């Protein structure tokens, strides 16, 4: 009788001095420190791994610090941040990653000082008025909203599935989204088509009703 075929060997685990593994879906960008050239820029799905090339001077930005496992020479490091935290421009060299992941020593607690009680509380800044654009996460996705002219960031974190972000009623805002298909956009109550495919990063999209309608139509 013919011998039974041998079972295929399991695929080898990704290896390298630094291995990045997604514990949960998280947007990940790697770029060269000197030139700014982007070498990786997409959502890393839960269970996926990526091995950065060791020969290049890279920094990474991650949209969900707690959702990314970092292994250095096979050793799993503590999380680089909390759930939903965005960490930017982290050097991808082993020693720096070990320092960044090391827990900080407890800060000394100063003795309570006797402070005068103010006669009245300062007036709070009035809340931003919601506008006609509402963003709802269909799946976890990183979202950044900023002022185009000043660069001031209004929102910068992972929007969890089911969470909503009503964009403020003001001109000049743009958004960057880490997973275009994971974000539902409604303009004046009308649901628009997705702004892109699964895992696609869209940058600096104007948060204006007419512009979003045009972009959603073009992305079909």
Q: How confident is the model over 26-39, as a mean pLDDT?
A: 89
Cα(96)–Cα(87) distance, integer angstroms: 14
Q: For residue 50, list its beta bridge partners.
A: 20
Residue 159's pLDDT band, with cuts at 50, 70 and 90, is: confident
The secondary structure element, H or E, covering residue 217 is helix 209-218
Residue 20's pLDDT band, with cuts at 50, 70 and 90, is: very high
- Among candidate residues 69, 90, 59, the one with its CA nearest the CA of residue 14: 69
Would you say residue 126 has pLDDT above 50? no
Block residue for tokens 């109550």: 189
Q: For residue 142, list its beta bridge partners.
A: 158
Q: How many CB atoms lie within 10 A of CB 159?
A: 25
Least confident of 40-44, 50-54, 128-132: 128-132
Q: What is the pTM of this model?
A: 0.57
The secondary structure element, H or E, covering residue 136 is strand 130-137
pLDDT in tens, 160-214: 889 999 999 888 999 999 888 899 999 999 999 988 888 888 889 999 988 888 8
Cα(28)–Cα(65) distance, integer angstroms: 10
pLDDT for residue 2: 56
Residue 82's pLDDT band, with cuts at 50, 70 and 90, is: confident
Q: How confident is the model over 104-124, as a mean pLDDT?
A: 52
């Amino acid at each position: 009788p013919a011998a039974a075929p041998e079972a295929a060997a399991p695929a080898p685990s990704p290896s390298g001095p630094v291995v990045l593994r997604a514990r949960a879906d998280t947007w990940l960008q790697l770029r060269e420190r000197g030139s700014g050239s982007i070498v990786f820029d997409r959502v890393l799905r839960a269970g996926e791994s990526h091995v950065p090339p060791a020969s290049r001077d890279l920094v990474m930005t991650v949209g969900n610090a707690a959702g990314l496992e970092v292994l250095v020479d096979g050793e799993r490091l503590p999380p680089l941040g909390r759930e939903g935290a965005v960490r930017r421009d982290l050097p991808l060299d082993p020693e720096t990653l070990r320092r960044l992941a090391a827990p900080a020593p407890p800060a000394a607690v100063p003795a309570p000082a006797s402070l005068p009680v103010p006669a009245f509380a300062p007036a709070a800044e009035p809340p931003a008025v919601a506008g006609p654009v509402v963003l709802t996460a269909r799946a976890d996705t990183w979202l950044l909203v900023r002022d185009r002219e000043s660069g001031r960031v209004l929102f910068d974190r992972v929007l969890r599935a089911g969470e909503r972000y009503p964009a403020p009623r003001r001109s000049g805002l743009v958004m960057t989204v880490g997973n275009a298909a994971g974000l539902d956009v409604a303009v004046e109550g009308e649901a628009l088509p997705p702004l892109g495919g699964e895992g696609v990063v869209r940058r600096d999209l104007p948060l204006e009703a007419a512009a979003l309608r045009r972009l959603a139509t073009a992305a079909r």
